[in-house]
Chains A and B, each alone.
Chain A
Amino acid sequence: NAGVTQTPKFQVLKTGQSMTLQCAQDMNHEYMSWYRQDPGMGLRLIHYSVGAGITDQGEVPNGYNVSRSTTEDFPLRLLSAAPSQTSVYFCASSYSTSGNSDTQYFGPGTRLTVL
């Protein structure tokens, strides 16, 4: 299994541009999520999905959209990039869709810089 994959690894955008960060998993996990990592703040949840066609907001959803048309893919869209969105973005997945001890598996991350 490839696990959780993310593309691209690095991206530089100008303010106002839009883009999509890709995330895919091959473990047949129902739960997928996006986090952003900023120095000293740990990881903060942006959006999550408990299955195809079902998404919901996390802690910091503003400026981001998601969709889940298949179990495998969970893309994150930046509608109009802002410098405050400069961050490292991680996608994660797990089998379980409700709070328990199920391990979440993380992708390698996308480092995004917005100028």
Chain B
Amino acid sequence: AQSVSQHNHHVILSEAASLELGCNYSYGGTVNLFWYVQYPGQHLQLLLKYFSGDPLVKGIKGFEAEFIKSKFSFNLRKPSVQWSDTAEYFCAVNARAGAAGNKLTFGGGTRVLVKP
């Protein structure tokens, strides 16, 4: 079975600071990797995803993530955060092939608070 762990439950930082959120997964096969964001009072939105090719993936709103296969990691980064980046961030994976359904396994989430 797949599992996903996010190392930080809460992160507080000031505007213009850099952000890095850790994500590690456990799975014996090939996976697709996702980062979703949930802004206060809103539903989940896709930030970025990786399925093949360049392990450095760029997403919306200046976010990027790097897939390091040897470390089973998919860390999210943003060089300079804004107050509007206050949200909860979720890492998720699904099995690349062979599994029925498009089932996502989520990490526990990281709440990010950006102070103005």
Contacts and interface: CB of A to CB of B under 8 A. Distances in A.
Interface of A: 31, 33, 35, 40-45, 48, 50, 56, 58, 90, 92, 94, 96-104, 106-109
Interface of B: 4, 6, 9, 32, 36, 42-46, 49-51, 90, 92, 94-109
A41 B109 CA distance: 7
Given A40-B109, A100-B32, A100-B96, A90 B44 contact: yes
Contact of B90 (A42, A50, A56, A108): A42
Contact of B102 (A43, A100, A107, A108): A100
A41 B102 contact: no
A48 to B, nearest CB: 5
A48 B103 contact: yes
Contacts, number: 83
A99 B4 contact: no
B16 to A, nearest CB: 29
A56 B43 contact: no
A56 B108 contact: no
B32 A42 contact: no
B43 A99 contact: no
Contacts of B43: 90, 106-109
Given A90-B43, A103-B46, A56 B101 contact: yes
30 contacts: A31-B101, A33-B102, A35-B106, A40-B9, A40-B109, A42-B90, A42-B106, A42-B107, A42-B108, A43-B92, A43-B104, A50-B100, A56-B100, A90-B43, A94-B102, A97-B101, A98-B98, A98-B101, A99-B94, A99-B96, A99-B97, A99-B99, A99-B102, A100-B32, A100-B94, A100-B96, A103-B46, A104-B102, A106-B43, A106-B44
